[in-house]
Structure formats: structure tokens, C-alpha cells
Amino acid sequence: MERYSIGDDAAFAELYDAIAPRLFGFLRAATRDEFATEDLVQQTFLQIHGARGSFIAGAAVMPWALAIAKRLMIDGARRRRVELGLFAHPSIDGDRDASPPAAMAAVDDLLDATRLERRVWQRLEALPEIQRSAYELVKQEGLSLKRAAELLGTSVTAVKLRTHRAYEALRAVLREGGVS
Amino acid sequence: MSADLKARVLAAAAAEPSPTRAAVNQRNVVISMVAATSIVGALMIFATLASDGQLVRLGGEVAPDRYVERSVWLLLTTAGGALGIVAMALWFALRRGRSMLGRSRGSLLCGIVLIPLALFAWKIGWSLALGDSMVEWPERTGLKCLSLSLLVAFGPLLAFLAMRRSAAVRPALNGAILGSAAGACAWVAGDLWCPVSYVPHVLLGHVLPLFVLAGVGAVLGQTVLSLRSVASTRRTLGEPRTGGQTFRE
């Protein structure tokens, strides 16, 4: 990034190779939508490209890139919410990666599991934005508490608390569904 | 990750040239000069309208037959010290430290509170020690100084926002600290023009504008510095969207 900021255009491809996979993973986990993820990756890189002249020598690029990606994702979601009037809810028969292992299960079990999955997703959607963001960064993206706190602009303790509350809310849904 | 994503990103970047660090530095120098000019210009306009062109005032009539003077030493001390505080405020507001994410929420909030407090403490402290201008001036409540501060700070605030351009996190707080720094610049102009050190006057005419400007900066920061997503970046490259319009569909 340092080379790119001083005018070495060829360094942009190297920068892409260095951070795109992790950025893609983060956005893929957050959006669960391949197309939206690619769109956001591209937008994030364009923001980095546009701000290259302001890059601080020696600064870490990844937290910055993730922060940009998260901001763009939230902004995009807000824009769509305004456009659509509401968030779309996940469908029962959506092509989730985390679909229950249905092959060996009885039909009733499969239906129960699908309903439970839907309730978990709905509960996740219904969580306050600050809790959901913290949960997604820490539990789904696997960021450290410190890094997540940097991205969310808050303290490690607050991230821990938000993640825990989100976790407890999701566990409560599972308990109601009879999963210990 | 699709194979052509990298090609699309590189093509999109190549299609939109962006300034390098040297170009940004040059641009910032120009913006700083414009901001400095706007401060002087606004002070001159205000002084012409409000005090027959007097940019620096060393005293005035407090009451009939009672004239209070502000010594040159007091003026130099308060304005000089304020300049030092302004320099620190500008460094704090315009530099982001060592992280591209900028300063923490706590330090930004501290800055927004401490800049006006430091300027106030400096002016009152030296006014207590070096002069008698702390007496009440019934005709000078501070409203003129309030307008002077807001008028003078307007240019620098816009300039600082232009220099910062965007903030990936905390855009409102970053805008607020820029507003506070712009207010600090205006403080020096107000200090030159206004000889009054009466505490209620200073609070209304000199300190309050800094908080007002921090608020204005916060609103502008949230509007101007926030990152915005583009509706569709593929569309600009000639690829129609086929799906994925919403998250979690």
C-alpha cells in the first residue's frame, strides 16, 4: 500500500492479492450473497484506490479495508431498506451453506431443523445492529476482540458484551427448539 | 471468489485515476492557504462592518467616562498562546495518528472538550494576571463575537472537511473535531478583535461557538465524510445485474 500511495500503480495488483481473500471471506460471511460480496469487494478496493494519497505510511491496511467494507455494506443495506421498505427475510428453502444434514434425517426432523434454522436467522436479523455486527465479526469472521473493537469503534469490553448478548439470544432460540 | 473479479477491480481502478500522496499534499497546501485567506478576509469584512476596520482593538469604553485598556502584552500573550493551542488542535484534528481508522472515540471526545477549555483557561488566566479587562462591559454581551467566530470559522471548517475527504469510522466525531479546530482558528481572530475578558462574555461569544461548530462539524462530517456505497459498480463496467440485490435474500 505504501508503494501504491506514492504512485507505483503496479502495486495495486499485489495489494489485491494480499487482502482480497480475507476481505471476500468477511463480506461473504456477512452477506451470504456471492454477487453482493463481489460488488462490495470491488467498491472497497475503489475506495482504497481513491484514498491512496491519504494513506499513512506504516499504517495497517487490513483493519482499514474491513472498516470500509463494513461501512459500505451497512450503507448499502440501509439504502435497500429505504428502497424496499423492509429487510428481506431468509426463506425456508434458501440455498444456505449451513443447511442441516438432511440426507440421513427423517422428514420431520428435517422440517424441525429447517424451522429452527429460520428462527435463528430471524433472531439474528432482529438483534440490535451493534450486537449483530459484533457477533458477525467475532463469531463468524473470526476476528479478535481487539480488532473487532477497532472496527466497531468501541472498547473490547463492549464488543465482548455485545457478542455475549447476541450469543445468548441465539442460544435461547435453540433452547426453545429443544437443542441443548 | 470469481476469477474475473480481480480484473474488474483493476480495470475499474485504472479507469478512475486517483491522486498520489504528493498530489494530495500539494492539494492540502493549496486548501490551507485558501483557509488562511478566508480567515483574514472574514475578519476584515467583519471588522469593517463592526468597528470601522479595526482588526486589533486594545480597549474600549466600558461605561460613560470609564475607558478600559487592554495592554499589548496581554494581547500578545493571549493571542500567542492561543495560536500555540490552535497549532496543537490542528495537529490533533487533521492528523489521524498512526492508524488509517483515525483516533479513538475517547480521544476525539476529549479533544472536542479540551480545545475550548484550554483556550478559555489560557485567556482568563492571563487576563487575571496581566490586565483589568475582566470587568463587565454591559454593551458587549458577546453576540458580536459569536457571529465573528462563526463567520471566521466557516471557511476553515469547509477546508478541513475537504482535506479529510472521508472517514471510514466515526465520521460524525471526526467532523466534530474538525469543527472544533476551525473554531479554535476563529478564536485567535476573536481574541485580536475583542478586548473583553469578562467571563460570561467570553463564554457566550468565544467558547460557545466552538461547541456550536463542533455540532455543525458533526452533522457535516456524517454527511460529507461518510463512505457511500455505489448502487452498482458492475453496471458502470457494462455488466447487467442478474441477482443478489439484497443481502440475506
Q: Which residues of A touch B226 (CB under 8 A)?
A: 71, 75
In our burial notation (b when 16+ CB lie closer than 10 A, e otherwise), range A111-127 reads: ebbbebbbebbebbeeb
d(CA B43, CA A58): 40
Identify the H or E element spanning B69.
strand B66-69
How close A101 comes to chain B (CA, Å)?
Answer: 21
The ipTM value here is 0.76
Ordered by where they begin, the domains of chain A are 1-86 (1.10.1740.10), 99-180 (1.10.10.10)
Q: Quote the radius of gyration of chain A (alpha carbons, Å).
A: 19
Contact check, Cβ <8 Å, B247/A79: no
**Long-range contacts (CB closer than 8 Å, 24 or more residues apart) made by B31-35:** B31/B159, B31/B162, B31/B163, B32/B159, B32/B163, B34/B155, B34/B159, B35/B155, B35/B156, B35/B159, B35/B160, B35/B185
Q: Scanning every residue of chain A, which has its alpha carbon at the shortest distance from the alpha carbon of B7?
A: A13
Q: What is the pLDDT of residues B151-201, one digit of tens each?
A: 999 999 999 999 998 888 889 999 999 999 999 999 999 999 988 888 999
- The answer to whether the pTM exceeds 0.90 is no
Q: What is the DSSP string of B25-52?
A: HHHHHHHHHHHHHHHHHHHHHHHHHHHT
Grid coordinates representing B103 are 483516533
Provide the residue-wise pLDDT of chain A in tens; the chain has 180 residues: 888 888 888 888 888 888 888 888 888 887 777 888 888 898 999 999 988 888 888 888 888 888 898 888 888 777 776 666 554 445 444 444 444 444 444 556 656 666 777 788 778 878 887 888 888 888 777 778 888 887 787 888 888 888 888 888 888 878 776 665
Residue B108's nearest CA partner among B46, B164, B55, B70 is B164
Contact check, Cβ <8 Å, B247/A32: yes
How close B9 comes to chain A (CA, Å)?
Answer: 5
Q: Which residues of A touch B24 (CB under 8 A)?
A: 53-54
User: How many contacts, defined by CB atoms under 8 Å, are there between A and B?
Assistant: 170
Per-residue pLDDT, B35: 94
How many other C-beta atoms lie within 10 A of the C-beta of residue B203? 14
Contact check, Cβ <8 Å, A53/B243: no
Contact check, Cβ <8 Å, A59/B98: yes
**Chain B stretch 130-189, residues whose beta carbon is closer than 8 A to a beta carbon of chain A:** 165-166, 168-170
d(CA B102, CA A46): 20
Q: Confirm or reject contact between B245 and chain A (CB < 8 A).
A: yes
Q: Which residues of B touch A118 (CB under 8 A)?
A: none
Q: Scanning every residue of chain B, which has its alpha carbon at the shortest distance from the alpha carbon of A95?
A: B249
> Residue B61: is its pLDDT beyond 80?
no
Q: Phi and psi dihedrals of B59, rounded to 5?
A: 170, -175
Domain boundaries, chain B: 22-49+72-237
